[in-house]
Structure 1
Amino acid sequence: MLSLLVSEQIRQADAFTIANEPVSSVDLMERASKAFVGWFINHFPDKQTAISFYCGTGNNGGDGLAIARLLKEHHYKNINIKIARFSDKASADFNINLSRLKQTEIALSEIQKNDELPEENATIIIDALLGSGLNKPLTGDYERLVNHINSLNKTIVAVDVPTGFFSEGEVQADAVAIKADLVITFQQPKINFLLPESGPYIRCWEAVNIGINEQFIQSLNSPYQFIGEKDIRGILKPRHHFSNKGTYGHALIIAGQAQTMGAALLSAAAAAHAGAGLTTACVPESGLTALNSYLPEIMAIVRSENKIPDIEWDKFSAIAVGPGLGKSKDAAILLLTLVKRHKNPLVIDADALNLLAADKILLQKLPAGSILTPHMKEFDRLFGAHKNWWTRLQTGMQRAREYNIYIVLKNDYTITISPEGKCYFNSTSNPAMASGGMGDVLTGVIAALLAQKYSPLDACLAGVYIHGKAGDELALPNRLNVVLPGKLTSQLPVTMAKLMA
């Protein structure tokens, strides 16, 4: 897993690398700039393109100066640099790179405080004004310059972090920051890149390795982790000869009502396709024909109105509840009965989350290790209103620890929050998956993995990754704008087989 660091930890990791590699700070800056340039020239190969650098006088500006010099060495013809001299301070590495730059023929100018801002004819703007570590909103000349750059309608590439955007912490809705088409960031994504507040400021990002000491990074024990394919390959368990349906568990999906049987069908189908040896759906009597027609492999327990079915709870390896269940009195009694009688971890989604939000005492009685899968609004109903995603993370860590549960907070980079206070960001999925029913499929996948005796944490991490990866395999090669949940369920075993190969 890739540990994601806050700004202070990044500085510690840089300092450790400098001291123990050993390497000078300006040489580490050169290495970072070369990594940036290596990615840049492969994606912007036209060496006649006019490129304008806006550099501050700190280390981010020093990166910008080094990148400009290196691009010149790669025969980019039309480069100019504008240095924002808004104070008398400059870092030592900035000054070294400025001295090196002056040995080239790159055009260089300065913007002083209160200067009229220059016209801009370049096609690409490189933002190297301010890097990570910013902890207060932009004001004065920086605010004015950033607003000016955003107004130019140019392709903007930011070095490490867009100027004005916080690497971590609360991002205000009206924050003044560079709106970058691309961020080429060093070593790892910054935590706020993975939260929705980054949307207006970062169209896409790419992390380039600059050789920071990985052992030291891991020793910092960051609560924030980024999950990749290698991690999931290490979790998944291939099927073996002489196994049978009993080997892979029995999943029960309690879901659906007359008007929302689709949610039950998708969730149960996902459980079957994700490998549960047996899948049973507890559905209303009116949905039985639909269930049998949709996937005859799924067994049924029929719910009658005003009557809780007699269920042998202990015969199921995993139970998921909520998709399309409704919020009726009967649904509430069914959920209460389940929580009282089943002592193994539950997967709780959709309407069952809203029932929990209305009964906080029941929330406190969930079996240890249960998995809640809310989207943003469901999370806020459960745990209170939040103004931003950073505070949701902090609340999620607190509540997961308090209730001994896992919270799968759905998002572009869906976040699994563990009782140990860790936040695991998923690296798969795409906008084509923004379609009703996708959450129901995810619930079924996680339930199937629980049924197969994966730990709750592994079921969350692998379930979320596989779900997103299946969507990627459908959408990206085929350039699909929309992936429907029903199609994704059929892709699940294909995706899992590839990961287990």
Structure 2
Amino acid sequence: MQKLINQQQMRSADVFTIKNLDISSIELMETASMAFVNEFVQEITAVETPIHILCGKGNNGADGLAIARLLQDKGYRAVAVYLVDFSEKETAEYQTNLNRLKDLWFPLTTVKTIADLKTLNDGVIIDAVLGSGLNKPLTGAYAELATFINGLNYQVIAVDTPTGFPAEGAFAKTDIFIKADLVICFQRPKINFFFPESAAALNRFRVVSIGLDEGFIEKQTSPYALLEQRDLKDLIQPRKSFTHKGTYGHALLIAGQRETMGAAILAAKGCLYGGAGLTTLSIPESGLTALNTALPEVMYLDRKELSGTAFAAEKFKIIAVGPGLGTDTTSADLLKNLLKLKVPMVIDADALHLLGNDESLRKQLTEGSILTPHMKEFDHLFGTHESWWARLQTAREKAVELKCVIVLKNQYTFIIDQLGKVIINPTGNPAMGQGGMGDVLTGLIASFAAQGYQSVEAAYAACFVHGLSGDQLAVTRVSVKASAVAEHIPEVVKGLTI
């Protein structure tokens, strides 16, 4: 996993790298600017494209000045630089790179008011105004600049961070940013890029290495880590000779009502295609025909048996409950009885709603259980939140308090372990925005748990595989069905074992 660090730590990494490699700050800046340009030319291939580079007077602006020179060296013939002069302060690196441009007789426009940008023609804007150098909302001339640039509707590519957008921490819905189509960021993505609110500041981002000391970065204290495909390759092993259905565990899924049998079937699909040795689905008897028709490999357990004295929970490696379960008194009593078993469970959907209705039930959760809420379910459980940053901090606190894993679903899903560490899953895409995806994920988590993975491993492995299945299918599809995601899982898992 790739450790994600805050901006203060990133600045420390800059300082350490400069000292350890015995290079100057301006040399490291040149490396960063070249990394940006190498990515930029993959995005904007036509060298005749008008490029307008807005440069503040700090190091982000210094990057912009170096980028202008390097783009000209690459053959881009219509590069214009605008010096945003809203501050008296300037860094030494800014002045050095400005002098290099002046030595080349490069055309420069000083911007003291928005009126100085009125002649800005169509083209691409490179935002190198402030980057991560601001730790407060934009006001005054900077806010006016952001509003003006956003109103042009030109393509904007930001250097490291969109102007005004904080790298980490909460921010208000009313805050103003320069909206970037693309951010080319240095060495690590910013933590705030993974929150839905980031859509106000950027559409997408790419990360480029600028040669910072990776050993130093990985030694920093941080609760945030980005999941990588190599983590799954290290975790998921090929199936060995002489293994059998008993080797890969037995999962029990408790899901569905007469009107919501689809949720139960989808959860069972996730478990079955995820590779559990045995999958048993407990549904109302009215759904038995649908189950036998759709998934003959999945066994059936009468819902009535769950409350009987003959129910042997120990035969199952994991129990998952919730998809389509309902929230009536009967379902609430069922959940109460399951919690008395004192076994770890995967809890989703309606079962989460029932936990939110009764705080005493949350206190009965068995250590190692996995909760899989989306935003509304999370807030029903733990209270309303004004921002995703606040929601994530609550998730960290509650995971520690309950000794559970919390899978906080999002385009970039957050998996929070019992120590409050946050693992960010990068897979998944908007084509998966259809009903039933969460049901499949619940079944897949149960599948990995049945196969012997620890709770947090089962959670992050399932999230990665689930999202990757959707990513691969979305290459040729506008939308992706939950059933299709489930059925493609074996190919995804196979690819991770090669």
Compute the TM-score of the two structures, normalised by the length of structure 2. 0.98
Q: How does 1:388-467 map to 2 (within 5 A)?
A: 388-467=387-466
* C-alpha contact (below 8 Å) 2:131/2:161 kept by paired residues: yes
1:427 Cα deviation from its structure 2 partner: 1.2
Task: Check if 1:150 corresponds to 2:155.
Answer: no
1:273 corresponds to: 273
Question: Shift of the alpha carbon at 1:170?
Answer: 0.7
Indicate conservation of the 8 Å contact 2:114/2:145, yes or no.
no
* 3-state SS of 1:156 partner: strand
Say whether the 8 Å CA contact 1:370–1:456 is kept in structure 2. Answer: yes
TM-superposed CA distance for 1:200, in Å, is: 2.3
- Alignment length (residue pairs): 498
Distance in 2 (CA, whole Å) between partners of 1:322 and 1:35 is 47
In the TM superposition, what is the alpha-carbon distance from 1:119 to its structure 2 partner? 2.4
1:210 and 2:210 equivalent? yes
Which residue matches 2:283?
Answer: 283
Give CA deviations for 1:170-228 in whole Å, capped at 9, x if unaligned: 12112200111111010111011111001122111100011111111111121111011
SS in 1 for 2:320: strand
Counterpart for residue 58 of structure 2: 58
CA separation of 1:260 and 1:310: change in aligned 2, threshold 3 A: farther
Q: Is the 8 A contact 1:307 1:330 kept in 2?
A: no
Flag structure 2 segments of 5+ consecutive residues without an equivalent.
none
1:366 aligns with 2:361: no
Q: What residue in structure 1 maps to residue 98 of structure 2?
A: 98
Trace 1:125-136 onto structure 2 (pairs within 5 A). Answer: 125-136=125-136
Q: Decide whether the 8 Å contact of 1:53 with 1:68 is kept in 2.
A: yes
Question: Does the 8 Å contact 1:273/1:489 carry over to 2?
Answer: yes
Q: Which amino acid aligns with 2:277?
A: G
Distance 2:179 2:234 in 1: 37
* 1:163 match: 163
* Secondary structure in 2 matching 1:102: helix
Check the 8 A contact 1:285/1:304 in 2, yes or no: no
CA deviations on 1:242-286 (whole Å, 9 max, x unpaired) are 011000000000000001000000001110110100000010111
Give the letter for the 1:65 counterpart.
L
Q: Distance in 2 between matches of 1:495 and 1:435?
A: 20
Q: String of CA shifts for 1:22-59, please: whole Å, max 9, x gaps.
A: 22111111100000000111221111110001110000
Q: Is the 8 A contact 1:288 1:302 kept in 2?
A: no
What is the one-letter code of the residue matched to 1:447? A
The 5 Å alignment of 1:150-299 reads 150-299=150-299
Task: Label 1:116 to 1:105 Cα distance change in 2 as closer, same or farther (>3 A).
Answer: closer
Asked whether 1:491 is paired with 2:482, we answer: no
Counterpart residue identity of residue 358, structure 2: D
Q: Which residue of 2 aligns with 1:470?
A: 469
Deviation of the 1:105 alpha carbon: 3.7
1:405 offset after TM fit, Å? 0.5
Task: Identify the residue that residue 8 of structure 1 maps to in structure 2.
Answer: 8
Q: Does the CA-based 8 Å contact 2:110-2:116 persist in structure 1?
A: no
Closer/same/farther in 2, CA of residues 116 and 38 from structure 1, 3 Å limit: closer
- Whole-Å separation in 1 of the counterparts to 2:117 and 2:240: 68
Q: Is the 8 A contact 2:177 2:200 kept in 1?
A: no
Q: 2: distance between equivalents of 1:269 and 1:86?
A: 58
How high is the sequence identity, in percent, across the aligned residues?
A: 49
Superposed displacement of residue 5, structure 1: 1.1
* Structure-2 change in CA distance of 1:135 and 1:308 (3 Å): farther
Query: Take 1:377 and 1:317, find their aligned partners in 2: how far apart are those partners?
Result: 29
| Whole-Å separation in 2 of the counterparts to 1:23 and 1:420 | 39
1:482 aligned counterpart, secondary structure = coil
SS in 1 for 2:352: helix
1:145 CA displacement: 0.8
SS of residue matched to 2:241: coil
Distance 2:105 2:185 in 1: 27
Distance of 2:166 and 2:474 partners within structure 1: 31
2:497 aligned to which of 471, 494, 500: 500
The one-letter amino acid of 1:120's match is: L
Q: Measure how far apart 1:461 and its partner are.
A: 1.1
CA contact (8 A) 2:414 2:423 kept: yes
1:367, 1:408 → 2: CA distance?
Answer: 16
Question: Do the aligned partners of 1:407 and 1:418 also contact (CA within 8 Å) in 2?
Answer: yes
Q: Distance in 1 between matches of 2:39 and 2:309?
A: 60
Q: Does the aligned pair in 2 maintain the 1:52–1:122 contact within 8 Å?
A: no
Residue identity opposite 1:454 in structure 2? Y
Q: Residues of 2 paired with 1:227 and 1:319: CA distance?
A: 26
Q: How do 1:18-57 and structure 2 match up within 5 A? A: 18-57=18-57
Moved over 6 A (4+): 305-309
User: C-alpha separation between the residues in 1 aligned to 2:117 and 2:70?
Assistant: 26
- CA-atom RMSD, angstroms? 1.4
Counterpart for residue 348 of structure 2: 349
Asked if the contact 2:307/2:337 (under 8 Å) is kept, the reply is no
CA deviation profile, 1:385-417 (whole Å, cap 9, x unmatched): 000000011111111011101000001111101
Secondary structure, counterpart of 1:204 in structure 2: strand
Cα distance in 1, alignment partners of residues 275 and 494 from structure 2: 11
Alignment correspondent of 1:482: 479
Q: What's the secondary structure of 1:251's corresponding residue?
A: strand
* Alpha carbons 2:185, 2:206 under 8 Å: kept: yes
Deviation at 1:309, TM superposition (A): 8.5
Cα deviation, residue 496, structure 1: 0.2
SS of 2:142 mapped into structure 1: helix
Give secondary structure in 2 for the equivalent of 1:248. coil
Q: Which residue of 2 aligns with 1:328?
A: 328
SS at match of 1:127: strand
- CA distance in 2 between counterparts of 1:358 and 1:458 reads 29
Distance 1:306 1:277, change over 3 A: closer
Unaligned runs of 5+ in 1: none
| Cα offsets for 1:317-355 (capped at 9, x unmatched) | 111000000001111111111111142x21000000000
Q: Check conservation: 1:416, 1:425, Cα contact below 8 A.
A: yes
Contact map agreement 2:320 2:347 (CA 8 A) in 1: yes
Q: What code does the residue aligned with 1:141 have?
A: A
Give the stretch that moved more between structures: 40-49 or 246-255.
Answer: 40-49
Task: Provide the C-alpha distance between the structure 2 equivalents of 1:149 and 1:41, rounded to a whole number of angstroms.
Answer: 22
